[in-house]
Structure 1
Amino acid sequence: MATVTHKAVTEPDTETRGRPARKRRAGGQRTATVIALRVLVIVVAVALWQMMSGPVVPEYAVSKPTEVYDALIDMLGSATGWTDIRVTTVEVLAGFGLGVAAGTVMGLVLGSFPLLGRVLEPLVAALNGIPKIALAPLFLLFFGIGPWSKITIAMTGVAFVVFYNVYLGLRLRERELVEVVQVMGGRRHHVLGYVTIPTLAAPFFAALKTGGPLAILGVIGGEFIASSEGVGHELFTAAQNLDAAAEFAGLIVLVALTLALNGVLSALDTYALKCLGLAARRRPQPRG
C-alpha cells in the first residue's frame, strides 16, 4: 500500500514537471510555422511579381524583382548609397529622440498641473491638427535644406504622439493608489516609482512604436521637398527618371530601417516592462 501511495503521489509531479517543456516545444513549433509561412508568402509574392511584370503590369511602372535586386546591390555597393542611408538614419534617430524628449516633458508638465493642462490642451490639439508635412516649407525657411529641417519635421510628429500618451496616462492614473501611497507616508518619489511609472510604461512604449514610423515619414517627406542627399532624395530622383528599380530599392532600404527601429523598440519595451514587473500582464492567461 505504501508503494502504491508513493506512485500515486509522484506520478502527477512528474507530469507537472514535464508540462513546461512540452509548452516550450509547442511554442517553438508554432513560431517556426509562423516564420515559414511568412517566408512562403514573400516568395509567392515575389514570384507573382516576376511573372506579372510585363504581360500584366507595365514593366516600366513596377520593374522586376531581378532588376530591383541589381539596383539594390548597386546602391549598397556605392559610397553615395551608404552616405544617403547614413544621412537618413541620423536624421530619423535625432528627430525621434528629440520628439520623445519634448513629448515626454510636455506630457509630464501638463499632466502634473491640471489647470495648466486644461488651458493649453486645446492649443496643443489645434497644433496637432496641422499636417506635419505642411510645416515642412516653414522649417525649410528657418533651417535651410540641411538635416535640421528634416529632424524638426520628424520631431514634431513624434512629440505629439508621445505627449498625448503620457498626458492621458497621467490623467487616467488611479487616484486611489496615489492616496494609499500618501497615507502610508510615501512622498512624491514613492508615488512616481510605485504608481506613475508603472501606469505610464505601457502607453509610453506604445507611443514609441507609433512614433518610429512617423519619424521616418517626416524625414522622407522633408527630403522629398528639398534636399541634396538622403534616401528620400534618391527616391525623388528615381521617380523623376522613371527608374522603378531604383525606387523599389530605396523602399526596401526604408523597410529595413523601419524593421530595425521597431525591433530595438520592442526589445527595449520587453526589457523595461520586465524590470518593472509588468511583463506578466502581457502574457496570455491559460484557459481551463
Structure 2
Amino acid sequence: MVATTDKPVRKKTSAVATTKRKSDRWQSPLTLVALRIVVIAVVLALWQLLSGPVLPEYAVSKPTDVAQALVKLLGSESGWIDVRATLIEVVAGFSMGVTLGTVVGLVLGSFSLAGRVLEPLVAAFNGIPKIALAPLFLLFFGIGPWSKITIAMIGPAFVTFYNIYLGLRLRERELMEIVQVMGGRRHHLLTYVTIPTLAAPFFAALKTGGPLAILGVIGAEFIASTEGIGHGLFTSAMNLDAAATFAGLIVLIVMTLTLNGLLTWLDKLALKRLGLIARRRPAEQHA
C-alpha cells in the first residue's frame, strides 16, 4: 500500500522539477536578452510596414529614416554640442541635487525638532510642479546652463531627502540601544546601524532621481535654450521633422539607460562592501 502511494508522489515531484527547470531556462539572462531583441525587431518591422499605408509618415516617420537622422545627428559637430551640453547639465544637476538632499535629510532626520518644524515646509515646496519653476530660474540665472542645472537639481534633491529622512526615522531603536549598551559610540552607531539602514534607500533615491534630472533638463531646454538635446527636439518638432525627433529621443533613451546601469553597478558594489547583498538576494528571488 505504501509503495502504491509513493509512485504518484514521485511522479508529481518529478513533474514539478521538470517544470521548474523549464521555467529557469526561460528566465536565463541570454534567453531574456534574445526575447527583448525579438520584441524590438518585431516592433521595428511593424513600424516600417505600417508607416505610410496605416500611420501618417509625417508624424511617425520610418525606422530607416530615423536611423539616417541619428547618423546625421551624431556625425555633426552641432549634434555633439547638444549632447555634451545636456550631459553636463544632467550630471551637474543630479550631483548637486543628491548632495543637497542628503545633507538636508541627515540634518532634519538627526534633529527631531528641526524635522517636525521644517518637514511640512519641504513637503509644501515639493508640491509645486518642478517645470513651473523654470521661468523663475530663467529670470535668476538667464538662458545659460545654470537655469537647467538648478531645475535638474530639484527632483533628485527631494527624492534623496525623503529617503534619507525616513530612513533615519525608521532605524531600529532596539539595535541602537544594544550597540550603546555594549559600549558603542557614535561612530559605531554610524557604522553598524545608520549606514546599513540608509544604503538601500539612498541608492533607490539615486535610481529614481536620475530620470528626474534628465526630465528637468529637457523640460527647461524646451522652454528656453540655445543648445542641448531638448532644444534640438523642440526645433525638430516645430519643423515637423519626425525622424530627427525620434533620433533625439533615442539619444535620451541611451543616456537614461547608461545612467541607470552606472547607478545599478554602484548600488551592487556598495551593498557588497557593506555586506548587505546577501540580504537583497533572497528578497529578489522571492519576488
TM-score by length of 1: 0.89
* Equivalent residue letter for 1:253: V
1:160 aligns with 2:158: yes
TM-score by length of 2: 0.89
1:175-190 aligned at under 5 Å gives the runs: 175-190=173-188
Structure 1 runs of 4+ off > 4 angstroms? 26-29
User: Alignment partner for residue 145 of structure 2, among 134, 147, 150?
Assistant: 147
1:248-273 per-position Cα deviation (integer Å, ceiling 9, x unaligned) = 00000000000000000000000000
Q: Which residue of 2 aligns with 1:103?
A: 101
1:68-105 per-position Cα deviation (integer Å, ceiling 9, x unaligned) = 00000000000100010000000000000000000000
1:83-139 per-position Cα deviation (integer Å, ceiling 9, x unaligned) = 100000000000000000000001000000001000001100000000000000000
User: Alignment partner for residue 281 of structure 1, among 273, 279, 282?
Assistant: 279
Cα offset, 1:284, TM superposition: 3.1
**1:277 aligned counterpart, secondary structure:** coil
1:56-205 aligned at under 5 Å gives the runs: 56-205=54-203
Structure 2 CA distance for aligned equivalents of residues 219 and 77 of structure 1: 23
Structure 2 CA distance for aligned equivalents of residues 57 and 111 of structure 1: 53
Residues 25 and 31, structure 2, Cα contact 8 Å, conserved in 1: no
* Equivalent residue letter for 2:65: E
**2:66 aligned counterpart, secondary structure:** helix
Q: Which residue of 2 aligns with 1:48?
A: 46
* Equivalent residue letter for 2:200: A
Structure 1 CA distance for aligned equivalents of residues 190 and 141 of structure 2: 38
Fraction of identical pairs, as percent = 74
**2:31 aligned counterpart, secondary structure:** helix
Structure 1 CA distance for aligned equivalents of residues 27 and 229 of structure 2: 38
1:10-25 aligned at under 5 Å gives the runs: none
* Equivalent residue letter for 1:91: E
Residues 109 and 166, structure 2, Cα contact 8 Å, conserved in 1: yes
**2:52 aligned counterpart, secondary structure:** coil
CA RMSD of aligned residues (A): 1.5
Aligned residues: 263
Residues 65 and 243, structure 2, Cα contact 8 Å, conserved in 1: yes
Structure 1 CA distance for aligned equivalents of residues 129 and 179 of structure 2: 42
Residues 108 and 165, structure 2, Cα contact 8 Å, conserved in 1: yes
Q: Structure 1: 5+ residue runs without aligned partners?
A: 1-22
Cα offset, 1:185, TM superposition: 1.0
Q: Which residue of 2 aligns with 1:37?
A: 35
**1:185 aligned counterpart, secondary structure:** coil
Q: Structure 2: 5+ residue runs without aligned partners?
A: 1-20
